[in-house]
Amino acid sequence: MIKLNIALFIVFIFTVISFAGGISGKTLITGKEMEVRKAGEITILKGNSKVVTDGNVMTASKMIYDKKNSILSAFDNVILLSKMQSGERFEVCGNFANYYINDKKGKFWGDNTVAKYFAQNSSSTLPIILHAQKIYIDRNLETLSAYDNVIIETSSGTVYSDNAVFNGKTLNAIFQQKYKKRPIAHISYDDRKGFYEADEMIFNIASDNKKIIMNGGVAGKIEMENKTK
């Protein structure tokens, strides 16, 4: 077991970049305290831990890097910052995470698991926020899947569901009935408020084509604000 102090900090960074077998591109690993075990196969980082790889930045209070399997496990205040192919920013947060560096996929879970999507050309400055108990990302956020107590919040409404699948290319979020709970949408537009439920909802979050499509047993109501004085 090797503990690295500040004097060896820079040397360790370049060692990780040069000799971390199987990692695509360069991976930069930093932290206030590092511990290397099993002849460099396992690296433990504590305090302001940070990993930068292929344009993605992950931070956490503690991380464990498994070099052989190229797996990064993160604990407490986990945040992944990434840019999608279209240029939009995406942020995923959780209490815990496992991130597979080579495959660019991972799992985030815990009570504070949330994903935030920041549109480039949107009239609203607020991000689209997705809450869930578990969030899986695949192919560098090309696909995001959310499970258990899923809530997506936008400037025009909120959708509640058991699960959701977000496609980073089409910018569609698909909500489908699972178990006995159907997707429910609360939507505000103009002077109206809509309350709907359906077997499936497809929500397009693109700034120039924002819409929601409902399929299967659609039911709902609309409330209109009376501005007559």
* Cα–Cα distance measured from residue 164 to residue 125, given in angstroms and rounded to the nearest whole number: 23
Question: Across all residues in the chain, what is the average pLDDT?
Answer: 79
> 20: which residues sit within 8 A by CB, 6+ positions away?
27, 67
CATH topology of domain 84-96+104-229: lipopolysaccharide transport protein A fold (2.60.450)
Q: How confident is the model at residue 225 (pLDDT cuts 50, 70, 90)?
A: low
Residue 176 has a pLDDT of 85
Amino acid identity for residue 22 in this structure: G
pLDDT over 70 for what percent of the chain? 77
Which of 118, 126, 42 is closest to 87 using CA atoms? Answer: 118
Q: How far is CA 152 from the centre of its chain?
A: 12
> Phi/psi at 160 (nearest 5 deg)?
-115, 135
Q: What is the mean pLDDT of residues 214-220?
A: 89
The pLDDT tens digits for 8-29 are 343 344 334 333 333 445 778 7
Mean pLDDT calculated for residue range 178-192 = 77
Place of tokens 């920041």: 118
Fold of 1-77: lipopolysaccharide transport protein A fold (2.60.450)
Contacts of 134 (CB under 8 A, 6+ apart): 107, 108, 109, 113, 146, 147, 148
Q: How large a percentage of the chain has pLDDT more than 90?
A: 24
Distance (Å) of CA 159 to CA 17, 41, 149, 179: 43, 44, 11, 17
134-138 vs 172-176, strand pairing mode? unpaired
Q: Which residue, 35, 37, 43, is CA-closest to 16? A: 43
For 41-86, the pLDDT digits (tens) are: 888 988 889 888 777 899 999 999 898 888 999 999 999 998 766 6
Over 90: is that where the pLDDT of 141 sits?
no
Single pTM value for the model: 0.79
Domain ranges of the chain: 1-77, 84-96+104-229
Fold agreement (1-77, 84-96+104-229): yes
Tell me how far CA of residue 81 lies from CA of 13, 84, 88, 211, in angstroms.
Answer: 20, 10, 11, 26
Which band of pLDDT confidence, cut at 50, 70 and 90, is reported for residue 93?
A: very high
Q: Which residue has the higher pLDDT, 126 or 172?
A: 172
- Report the pLDDT value the prediction gives residue 83, as an integer from 0 to 100: 77
- Bridge partners of 200, per DSSP, are 176, 215
* Whether residue 120 has pLDDT greater than 80: no
